[in-house]
Structure 1
Amino acid sequence: MECIVHFDVHHKDGIKPLRGLIFLQEDRKIPTERDLLQMFEDMGYKLKMDDRDKMIFVPTESSSDYDWIRVRELDTGEKTYKEDSELRSLLSNLMPQDFRPI
C-alpha cells in the first residue's frame, strides 16, 4: 500500500509545501515514525521527531537551511489523516484535567 505524505518545510524566508511517498506493508494503514524518518532521509533531510502530536521534525545538523518540517497530511487512498487543530483544542478543553480512577 502507498502513503503520500504532504509536508511543509519551514525555511527562514518562507514555507515550501512538498510531498513524499512511503510504501507500507499490507497489514499497516499508516506509516510509523521510523517510516517517516527514513522517507525524509532518502530525500536528503536528516531529522529527529520534535513534537509527536503536531508531527513536527527538526534537523539534526546545525548547518541545515531549514528550521523544521511539519507533516500536514497522510494520504493512503482510503482514509486521510489531517490534523484538525480546532477539534484538538475543543477536545482538550472538554477532557478532565484530573484523571482519577472510578
Structure 2
Amino acid sequence: MECIVRFTVNHAEGPKKLRGLIFVDEGKAPSTDQLLDMFRDLEYEVVPDEQDELLFKPVNSNETYHSIRVNELDMGQEKYTEDRNLKAILNNLLPKQRGL
C-alpha cells in the first residue's frame, strides 16, 4: 500500500513543502526507519528528534535547513471536506420544503 508523506523542510529563508512516497503493509503507518530511508533517498541525512517523533534534525550542522516536520501521512483513506460552493448550488436547485 502506498503512503504519501507530506513534509516541510524548514530553511532559514522560509519553509519548503515537499512530498515523498513509502510502501507500507495494509493498515500500517510507516516506521521511523522507513521515514529515514525516504529522507535519505531524497538526500536529506537526518535523525529523529528525541521529544517529537514527527520532527527530524540534520546530521550535518552545515546543512541549509534546520529541521524537517512530517505534516501528513496520506494512506489513501477518504477525508471529508465540506464544499461550500457545491452546497450553495444544491440549495438553489433543490425545491424548498414548505411548512404544512
Task: Please indicate the TM-score interval, normalised by the length of the shorter structure.
Answer: 0.7 to 0.9
CA contact (8 A) 1:51 1:57 kept: no
TM-score, normalisation: structure 2: 0.72
**Structure 2 match to 1:7:** 7
Contact 1:10-1:68 at 8 Å conserved across structures: yes
Change (3 A) 1:54 1:24: closer
Q: Which has the larger radius of gyration?
A: 2
Whole-angstrom CA distance in 1 between matches of 2:72 and 2:54 = 10
1:1-46 C-alpha deviation (Å, 9 max, x unpaired): 00000000000000000000001133x5210000000000000000
Report the AA paired with residue 20 of structure 1. Answer: G
Cα RMSD after superposing both structures: 1.8
| Separation (CA, whole Å) in 2 of partners of 1:70 and 1:79 | 23
CA distance in 2, matches of 1:51, 1:17: 23
Q: For residue 69 of structure 1, give the secondary structure of its aligned residue in structure 2.
A: strand
| Structure 2: gaps (5+ residues) | 80-100
Q: Distance in 1 between matches of 2:77 and 2:5?
A: 14
Equivalent position amino acid for 1:21 in 2: L
Instruction: State the alpha-carbon separation in 2 of the partners of residues 69 and 23 from structure 1.
Output: 20
Q: Distance in 1 between matches of 2:45 and 2:53?
A: 18
* Structure 1 runs not aligned, ≥5 long: 81-102
One-letter code aligned to 1:25: D
Q: How many residues align?
A: 79
Partner Cα distance (1:24, 1:9) in 2 = 23
Normalization by structure 1: what TM-score?
0.71
